[in-house]
Structure 1
Amino acid sequence: MPRHDGHPDAVKPAHRQPVDAVLAQQATSLENGLTAGEVRARRHRHGPNRLPEARGPSVWRLLLNQVESLVVILLFSAAVAAAAFGSTIEAIAILAALVVNTVVGFAMEWRASRAMEALQRMSTAQVHVRRDGKTHRIGADQLVPGDIVLLEAGDVIMADLRLVESNRLQCNESALTGESTAVDKITEPLPEGNPPIADRRNMGYAGTAVTQGSGTGVVVATGLATELGAIARLVAESGKSITPLEKRLDRLGQRLIWLTLVVAALVAGAGMLAGTDLRLMVETAIAMAIAAVPEGLPVVATLALAQGMLRMASRNALVKRLSAVETLGAANVIFTDKTGTLTQNHMTLSRLALDRGVIELHDDEPRLGDTPLDPQGTPDLAALLETATLCNNASLESHGAVGDPTEVALLEAANRTGITRSELLDALPETREVSFDPAVNMMATYHAAADGFRVAVKGAPESVIEACTRVLTADGERNLDESDRRDWMQRSESLAADGLRTLMLAQKSVDDESGNPYEGLTLLGVAGLYDPPRKGIRETIAACQEAGIRLVMVTGDHDATARAVAREVGIADADAPPADPATLDRLGALTTAEREALLAQGVFARISPQQKLELIQLYQEAGWVVGMIGDGVNDAPGLKKADIGIAMGQRGTEVAREAADMVLKDDAFATIVDAVRHGRTIFQNIRRFIVYLLSGNLGEILAISAAAMVAAPLPMLPLQILYINFVSDVMPALALGLNRSEAGIMDRPPRDPAEPILMRRHWSAIGGYAVIIAATALAAFAVALLVLELDTAMAVTISFLTFGFARLWHVFNMRSSRSPLLLNEVTSNGFVWAAIGVGVLLLLVATYLAPLADILGVTPPGAREWLLILGFSVLPLLIVQSLKHAGLWWERPPHPDTRDD
């Protein structure tokens, strides 16, 4: 049973003890927390605060993965057949090749697994703790029993806590209890007994999320001692997660093998009916079976995805799932917030709308027109600034401002006029906070005053205005009627139309704290705050839109403010007529015309989290691949629902980061464009090396089949085919998977996510490549036999080396049809040149290393033969490049501006 304390003398569980007893039991201080020495001692005693990780596959599992495939069964069967017909050396060589293939596959899969673990280490959760009297941000794995943890909305609780302070604190504990309703938290001890976790309201458990309010807790259990740890002990090692792309590649490879087996059977059967020697037909079948094996196809794809993810991580885009890389390249609409994403999230209070008029705030001197105002002699201005200071959770510290940028801007403006939060709180101590609630778009604070309590309120103008019955003027308070309400909303909309974020402020005096804070208020005025666009955001949005990715602003801010910012940053459709609020309330029952009107919107304002979720679904049902950017607790459902959820790494809440598929470590919108470019490049590279692998293998099958059909000697022996595949399949294919982005990849629309890996034009190209490679190798074979009248052994060697070098040069055929002939994404890839260099070296070793040459049946050629080999091996490259240059190659899309290569 998990402990609820970190002390060996504990008797009662923490939830049954008062706060003072728990703090004493943990030997800690609420005000100061633990000392550095105590932290070290407890970490040594309790270990790191982490659960046993769901590890990737073990070494033995990785090895088994290599021998459980259809490829291994096929090669093993070929070895058995060779042994049965007396070709012992051939059988041993095939088995040796199996071992090599297994080792290479294991090494690549192990590297991909380690790459994934490296990515996971990058996403360590952070928590705020109080140690040595100061607040620190530390990795969650550094928590120890007795730590004082500070909580706020959006945090994921990372250890079991006994709550010692709760300010309207609510937690979602569905991860443990299955109950999605948020739980109100308290600090009082629970009565005797052992209530279920769902009823322990004075505890905060690891894995649960803070959804509202703030609080403080003392750590009473870490790691496996937590309630979550008890569950973790029951969970077995997780299985391998297979991406949709890997599944499709695996199916593709299996279908090709079965197809080749059928062809081999037909060729062998036809040969036997024609009276061809049985041994020759068996060798032909074995050679075709070996030629069909697409060695390492899924593993190379996985490694390409993992390496791509590491590249993205180095560019500040942490992708958490392999399958998300596929989705990135297909995303064609991104839902984005306004504040902090498109703007700098550095607010400045620019204007104040009071009953007497609009006041401009310049430096330290508020002005009404050309008249400077002194807040001390302007009661209505002073009341607004005081309320903005009281209803506020930010603080201005010597080392910088702390808190929400909007609240910081309000404090800074008040501070410049001589109104400070510390002095106000001395006179009007805060007794209660009603945290911001998205359902009402307001927050309130209560402050003790001489005649009772003052309630300070701020929030969305349309919400606050409905809670007001009076208004403060230069001459005092008066009643607020409907005409006044319309006038105030027009003032607010005028500020918003200039791109200012608007907040309405109000106050009232009450006798006690029992009533509704949001009724009977006195309206003070509207604050207009300016948040300038991020540097370079306009160019970034233009790049997205050129790439066929729509940007849709979805914000809780005022419609006029949102559209002003959207126009400023260049979002298309920013001036489309606003969506009818009634339409947004019935997204599940729209007419076709209403649906099309919504899909044409560039800005959705005053959107609730539920409406955001429904909008995502609306776009998905219309066939869009939706990305969503979010940072708050309320964004988590949308981040999960979107095809690709993108969270901010710096200002995003832990809940949002956990829900997202990708985390922007620098919070920069431009990083998304870079990540999309990488996503497109990775998919394009995978498609490219599949074409490379299959065309080479198909060329081998065609050459063998053609020879068998005319009862000619095999142009290559089974072991030679196996060696060529080893030399030219894995390393060049992997190198192609590491190509950089080609020029213009972001000038094209995203690919359709429903389109197959290989489209008709790719299959046509594979067939064309295969025919040309097979034809040139057979031509070299025929010239050696019939023209030069060489013996069969030398002719086979010439065919073998021609095929081997042709497949290496074939890598350069994988450039895009849009890229230059000499300087392109393939020729500029150093890994490609290294792979070709190794391949050439291995072919020369097979030719001149006598023991290996004897096993493979290779006879070292002379100068004349080398001229024949090199001349014919380069022909496929010259032919294909000539056809591409002339625009006659199948692989070029029919509409170059609308399709990827």
Structure 2
Amino acid sequence: MTSVPSLTPIENAHEFSADQLVDQLQVNTKAGLTKDEARRRFEELGPNALQETKREGALTILLRQFNGVIVWILAAAAAISFFLGDTVEGVAILIVLLINAITGFVLEWNASQSMEALRKLDTAPARVLRDGRIQEIPSDEITLGDVLLVEAGDVVSADGNLFDVNQLGVDESALTGESLPVEKSTAISVADAPLGDQHNRLFKGTAVVSGNGRAIVTGIGQHTELGKIATMVEEAERSATPLEEKLNSLAKRLIWITVGLAALFMIVGFVRQEEPKLLIETALALAIAAIPEGMSVVATIALAYGMLRLAEKKVIVKRLSAVETLGGTNVIFTDKTGTLTQNRIEVNTLQLPEGMAEVRVDEQAGKLEVVQGEATVMDDHGYHKLVRIGVLCNNADYEPREGEDAKEVGDPVEVALLKFALGAGVNPDEVTQQHPRKAEKAFSSDTRIMGTLHEADKRYLVAVKGATEEVLDRCDTVLKNGQPISLGETEKDAIQQVSEKMAADGLRTLAFAYREVNERPGDDFTEQNLTYLGIIGFLDPPRTEVTPALQSCREAGIKVIMVTGDHPATALTVASKVRLIEPGEEIVLTGKDLKPIGELSAAEKERVMACRVFARVSPAQKLDMIDLYQQNGDIVGMTGDGVNDAPALKKSDIGIAMGQRGTQVAAETADMVLKDDSFASIVTAIGQGRVIFENIRKFILFLLSCNMSEIFVVTFAGFLGVGNPLLPLQILFINIVTDVFPALALGVGRENRELMKQPPRNPDTPVLTNRDWWMITYYALVMTIAVLGVYWFGTRNLGMNQGMGNTITFYSLSFAQLLHVFNLYSGHGHFFRNEITTNKFIWWALVVCVVILVLTYYVPFLSQVLSIQPMTNQALLLIAAAGIFPVIVIQVIRKLTGLGE
């Protein structure tokens, strides 16, 4: 054993005995630290609190909204406008920048409160032994070497090694994922024991559910297991979501297109010796035309609309982009406790001498039903005896209450026995009244049994429960067919093997026995002459809605992986029950089997990625596994409810926390919170995410084909030497007004149920594929030909001046783009009835845009700013022709070639 320096938080403390820690930490377990020594250590080591990190201020977040290539280009365009004297145009561009910045700031101002939630676990006072007296102090004043006292109801304030325990049970589910309370002891744990198996340790933030104990504090603050998780939460980087990355990539592509066209246009202009100011103004118009200023606003509103839909289905989204990210998720890591299971203990299996039955307790109906096995065992005398012994040898209290949660007090296993009795038609209160308790032998780690003595009708009844081996050692008969018969060693071995098989299947087992005598027995009433009744297996039951939800995931091509800190056998049992794995896939890897990601060979990586169930996994290993899949190009979702899940929730592409049973830390770290804790809600969210991505893709297709038509109009007009048909301010108006409303209507389109029957899209696939870019170019060319055609015809054949030509082009392009929305239906249905024509928002958008265009003509201020000239009937006919021509051409070609399907 290596020596641990004094006054240093102890690593691998589970390997040390109490005597070794007394020497290392220089503490007296009977008197504790002296007041002076405690103060000295506090000054040297600091408080028992999690470190605070400096958070980003509002100004920092706001300034970051102005950091981006698109923002810089628009800012440069505004500066050039001011330089050229176009003040109105410069102000308009700045307003657009401000709107986008405010939108981004609001989205980021929901910064994670994870560290604050972790610190709230520190607020409870703690009891320590100092100067030989028990003192209550603030938990942050605990220091290394303190003797910490805990009892039922306490939240543990620091990490420590136990040296004195009395029936101590601790709920560590938030830290390790272990469903059942852990029975603590003072025996040294094995060297490589994971947290869930370190039975001689107490951990900060866990809850004491029974008994009491004393421990030597071995870790405080950031050096506790909770502190290590807090550090991982801080260090786990939350990268840009896939949608954000794809939109950024798309923006960069647009910029290169713009730069190329502008450079080509400038070169041609200089060769022609055109006026420099005109060239600059045209290049400025190109820059404004290339950037879809409304894209981020429309994306935000589309995501927000999806968020509201999900809120109605009890899914709360904290980051808007998370809705779409979940739609692209192809791997989901799910915790077991509270996610796939109900996070409560129930009687699951009865193993009686007459046979076996798997049962389910319906608390609301107060009934017990046999799920599998032999229902006839419930008619046997031994079964009814077992139910009553489970009630009598019990210190818990369970009180069902109509219209509200039942009152549960005591060990969860004993509470489960009372629920089991009610389901079996037995009233626990009546049983205990009929058999008053006269004595009790409390459970201890030495005897591993509990016994109670009761009196009824001048006779005495001994009720015993405990570890199967210990109970069998005290039994000489077994109850069969209502009669005690001799129990030999062969029968005992067979029963022990059954118990071990149940434990291997992930059940926690307790054996039950009894004895009836005429005279009151002595103090050793639990030690001999008992009659064996049977074994009860307990399990955290699976949630009923999980199995069909997992089936939906399979149909949608989503891989679901269980990652838990619980026992391997328990994890495998639950995975089988919910059909997470199929027969033949019964493989489980534990934390011991997992190397750090950097040390895995190709074969080991393949083995890890082929496994669907992982148990006894630490928070750091969860991070490694998420990283492994992310490096493989997958979009990873992570569900969880415990403190131990917080780092992984943050690291994953989409963190999903349970809202009912989940910890505050998990909820505040995650991107989404399920109010009903239902895994089925995740499937709903995935479907909504896929719909939103398809809607986003569709409105981007619309926006970019419109923007590309503006680029082509300006560029081709320049190359053809027919003047500048569109002014920069007119382009900006089209982009942020007449384009945005139809795009927004596309973004909130109706749901498509067929999307959940398709595999997830490839995470590497951009928002727009090469085929989409060809379609954008095709749509833009058709609109450009129509708009430039009427501009050329009006200025060359009808004698219209440049101002009138600009006006015709402005309204022609606006009208063509409004009608272009009807070209974007998916191919399901026909032109007059499809997802576009049946979308009421499309029609409202068209009405609003037409009204706005009418106002630009009749409101003097708007017509002056946009340089609108009075129009003749000829001009109106040209505008109508330019709007209708692209729709007719595109639909005819679509029918002939299938292009656009």
Verify same fold: TM over 0.5: yes
Report what 1:97 is aligned to. Answer: 92
> Following the alignment from structure 1 to structure 2, what is the Cα–Cα distance between the partners of residues 720 and 396?
72
1:746-771 per-position Cα deviation (integer Å, ceiling 9, x unaligned): 12111222333333223222222222
Cα distance change on mapping 1:480 and 1:842 into 2, 3 Å = farther
For residue 843 of structure 1, the aligned residue among 831, 844, 853 is 853
1:643: how far off?
4.7
Q: Kindly provide the CA deviation profile for residues 217-254 of structure 1, in whole angstroms up to 9, marking residues without a partner as x.
A: xxxxxxxxxxx9xxx9xxx9xx9996564355345435
Summarize the alignment of residues 570-585 of structure 1 with structure 2, pairs less than 5 Å apart.
571=579, 573-579=581-587
- Cα–Cα, structure 1 residues 689 and 586, in superposed 2: closer, same or farther, change >3 Å? same
Cα pair 2:351 2:357 within 8 Å, conserved: yes
C-alpha contact 2:819 2:887 (8 A) present in aligned 1: yes
Question: Which residue does 1:505 correspond to in 2?
Answer: 511
1:549 aligned onto 2:558: yes
Aligned to 2:10: none
Change (3 A) 1:888 1:469: farther
Tell me: CA distance 1:587–1:830, structure 2 relative to 1, closer, same or farther (3 Å): same
Give the counterpart of 2:708 among 682, 695, 698: 698
The offset of 1:674, in angstroms, is 1.0
Query: For residues 23-102 of structure 1, what are the structure 2 equivalents within 5 Å?
Result: 58=58, 71=70, 74-75=73-74, 77-78=76-77, 81=80, 88=85, 91-102=86-97
The answer to whether the 8 A contact 1:389-1:410 is kept is: no
**1:705-784 matches, cutoff 5 A:** 705-784=715-794
- Does structure 2 conserve the Cα–Cα contact (< 8 Å) formed by 1:632 and 1:656? yes
The answer (yes or no) to whether the contact 2:696–2:747 under 8 Å persists in 1 is: yes
SS of match in other structure, 2:152: strand
Partners of 2:670 and 2:690 in 1: how far apart?
20
Residue aligning to 2:35? none
How big is each residue's C-alpha offset from its partner over 1:800-846, in whole Å with a ceiling of 9 and x where there is no partner?
11111222233344443456644555445444444433322222222
Q: Secondary structure at the match of 1:744?
A: helix
Counterpart residue identity of residue 264, structure 1: A
Shift of residue 277 of structure 1? 3.3
2:396 pairs with 1:396: no
1:547 Cα offset (Å): 1.4
Query: Using the alignment, how far apart are the partners of 2:804 and 2:696 within structure 1?
Result: 37
- The root-mean-square deviation of aligned C-alpha atoms, in Å, is 6.0
Task: Map 1:369-768 to 2 at 5 A.
Answer: 369=376, 372-374=379-381, 382=385, 386=389, 390=393, 395-399=398-402, 401-403=406-408, 408-414=415-421, 416-417=425-426, 420=429, 426-428=437-439, 456-457=465-466, 473-474=478-479, 475=484, 484-485=492-493, 488-490=496-498, 503-505=509-511, 525-527=534-536, 539-552=548-561, 566=576, 571=579, 573-579=581-587, 586-588=593-595, 604=613, 607-610=615-618, 613=622, 624-632=634-642, 639=649, 643-654=653-664, 656-658=666-668, 660-768=670-778
Gaps of 5+ in 2: 1-30, 32-50, 128-137, 143-147, 160-174, 185-201, 213-225, 362-366, 455-459, 516-521
On the 8 A contact 2:349/2:358 being kept in 1, the answer is yes
| 8 Å CA contact 1:583, 1:590 repeated in 2 | no
Gaps of 5+ in 1: 1-17, 19-50, 128-139, 149-157, 175-179, 187-203, 217-227, 435-441, 459-463, 893-901
CA distance, structure 1, for counterparts of residue 436 and residue 126 of structure 2? 29
Q: What is the alpha-carbon distance in structure 2 between the residues aligned to residue 596 and residue 52 of structure 1?
A: 39
What corresponds to 1:167 in structure 2? 152
Identity of aligned residues (%): 35
* Residue identity in the other structure for 1:586: D
> What is the one-letter code of the residue matched to 1:386?
I
Equivalent positions of 1:190-269 (< 5 A) are 209-210=205-206, 213=209, 243=241, 245-246=243-244, 248-250=246-248, 252-254=250-252, 256-257=254-255, 259-269=257-267
Q: Hey, what's the Cα distance between the residues in 2 that align with 1:592 and 1:675?
A: 34
User: CA distance change for structure 1 residues 73 and 112 in 2, over 3 Å: closer, same or farther?
Assistant: closer
Alignment check: 8 A CA contact 1:686 1:737 kept = yes
Residue of structure 1 equivalent to 2:283: 285
* TM-score (normalised: structure 2): 0.66
How far is 1:869 from its partner? 0.8
SS for the counterpart of 1:261 is helix
Cα-to-partner distance string for 1:67-122 (whole Å, 9 max, x where unaligned): 666556545554555566xx64xx022123124324533554466468x59x999x
SS at match of 2:726: coil
Q: Check the 8 A contact 2:150/2:156 in 1, yes or no.
A: no
CA contact (8 A) 1:341 1:669 kept: yes
Worse-matched range after superposition: 414-423 or 312-321 = 414-423
Q: Could you report, residue by residue, the CA deviation over 1:144-173 in whole angstroms, capped at 9, with x for unpaired residues?
A: 99999xxxxxxxxx9989999623966486
Matching residue within 803, 811, 827 for 1:793: 803
2:341·2:541 contact (CA, 8 Å) conserved in 1? yes
Which secondary structure does the structure 1 equivalent of 2:721 belong to? coil
CA-CA distance at 1:559 after TM superposition: 6.5
The SS at the match of 1:353 is strand
What is the one-letter code of the residue matched to 2:752?
E
Establish whether residue 889 from structure 1 lines up as the match of residue 899 from structure 2: yes
Q: Partner residue of 2:821?
A: 811
2:864 maps to 854
Query: 1:619 offset after TM fit, Å?
Result: 5.8
Q: CA deviation at 1:737?
A: 3.2
Structure 1 CA distance for aligned equivalents of residues 556 and 463 of structure 2: 54
- Decide whether the 8 Å contact of 2:512 with 2:535 is kept in 1: no
Question: How many angstroms does 1:428 deviate by?
Answer: 4.8
The answer to whether the Cα contact below 8 Å between 2:828 and 2:834 also exists between their aligned partners in 1 is no
| Secondary structure at 2:557 match in 1 | coil
Change in Cα spacing, 1:409 to 1:167, as seen in structure 2 (3 Å) is closer
1:81/1:345 CA distance change after superposition, 3 Å: closer
State the Cα distance separating 1:372 from its structure 2 match: 4.5
In 2: Cα distance, 1:279 partner to 1:82 partner: 11
User: Could you tell me how far apart the structure 1 residues matched to 2:843 and 2:695 are?
Assistant: 16
Go from structure 1 to structure 2 and tell me whether the alpha carbon gap of 1:595 and 1:726 turns closer, same or farther (over 3 Å shift).
closer
Q: Aligned partner of 1:574: which letter?
A: E
Q: State the shift of 1:676 in Å.
A: 0.7
Cα drift, residue 275 of structure 1 = 2.9
Q: Secondary structure of the equivalent of 1:739?
A: coil
Distance 1:610 1:248 in 2: 33
- Distance, in Å, in 2 between the alignment partners of 1:562 and 1:762 is 45
Residue 734 of structure 2 aligns to a residue whose secondary structure is: helix
In the alignment, residue 578 of structure 1 is paired with which amino acid?
A: E
Structure 1 residue 270: Cα displacement: 1.4
Q: 1:806 to 1:414 in 2, by over 3 A?
A: same
Question: Would you say the 8 A contact 2:823–2:890 is kept in 1?
Answer: yes
Q: For the structure 1 residues 431 and 315, does the alpha-carbon distance in structure 2 shift closer, same or farther, using more than 3 Å as the test?
A: same
SS for the counterpart of 2:656 is: strand
Assess if the C-alpha contact under 8 Å between 1:169 and 1:214 holds in 2: no
Count of residues in correspondence between the two structures: 746
In structure 2, C-alpha distance between the alignment counterparts of 1:244 and 1:104, rounded to whole Å: 23
Aligned match for 1:271, one of 259, 263, 269: 269
Name the residue aligned to 2:47: none
In the alignment, the residues of structure 1 paired with residue 268 and residue 358 of structure 2 have an alpha-carbon distance, to the nearest angstrom, of: 93
Q: Contact 2:107 / 2:319 at 8 angstroms: preserved in 1?
A: no
1:764-795 per-residue CA deviation (whole Å, 9 max, x = no partner) reads 22222222222221122122234444333322
CA-to-aligned-CA distance 1:406-447 (integer Å, 9 cap, x gap):
65442133354465596689545686788xxxxxxx997867
